């Protein structure tokens, strides 16, 4: 897993880039965020992959911790998902990629799955 976080100096938008998203949850941000786009490149895999998002700062146990969002990425494609309203994560955001949907599934894709997310920090109001 090679995770990089890019911050543009003049705007709030950040990019989370993982060149080998796998079955270990990677922290996108440890504070509230709004994810605007998911760019998942599953072209190297002959089977579907499932990107699981977790809205928690707690330790995520992939296969046991219930994901808040799951996206199926078809085999051999690059898929870009944009959300006009965004996906809100109130605690923080963690992400993992496996070969089975739902809560279960602990196997990483056979080949590298490249995952890029664009997101903005969100200030929570009381």
- Pair of tokens at residue 113: 């799955």
**For the segment 1-20, what is each residue's pLDDT rounded down to a tens digit?**
555 555 555 557 899 999 99
Residue at 64 is within a domain: yes
Average pLDDT over residues 41-51: 98
Work out how many domains the chain is built from and give that number.
1
Q: Domain containing 23: what range?
A: 3-121
Residue at 58 is within a domain: yes
pLDDT of 80? 97
Residue at 31 is within a domain: yes
**Mean predicted lDDT score pLDDT of the chain:** 91
pTM over 0.95? The answer is: no
CATH number at residue 77: 2.60.120.340
pLDDT of 9? 56
Residue at 126 is within a domain: no
Residue at 44 is within a domain: yes
Residue at 94 is within a domain: yes
**For the segment 73-100, what is each residue's pLDDT rounded down to a tens digit?**
999 999 999 988 999 999 999 999 999 9
By three-state DSSP, how is residue 85 classified?
strand
pLDDT of 13? 85
Four-residue CA torsion sign, 61, 64, 68, 74 = positive
Residue at 87 is within a domain: yes
Rounded CA-CA distance 11/24 in Å is 30
Residue at 78 is within a domain: yes
Nearest to 23 by CA among 123, 122, 81, 94: 94
């Amino acid at each position: 897993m090679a995770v990089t976080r890019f911050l543009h100096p003049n705007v709030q938008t950040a990019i989370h880039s993982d060149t080998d998203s796998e079955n270990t949850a990677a922290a996108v941000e440890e504070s509230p965020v709004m994810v605007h786009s998911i760019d998942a490149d599953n072209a190297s895999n002959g089977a579907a992959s499932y990107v699981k998002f977790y809205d928690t700062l707690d330790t995520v146990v992939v296969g046991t911790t219930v994901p808040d969002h799951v996206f199926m990425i078809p085999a051999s494609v690059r898929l870009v998902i944009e959300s006009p309203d965004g996906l809100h994560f109130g605690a923080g955001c963690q992400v993992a990629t496996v070969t089975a949907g739902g809560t279960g599934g602990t196997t990483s894709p056979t080949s590298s799955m490249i995952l890029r997310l664009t997101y903005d920090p969100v200030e929570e109001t009381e």
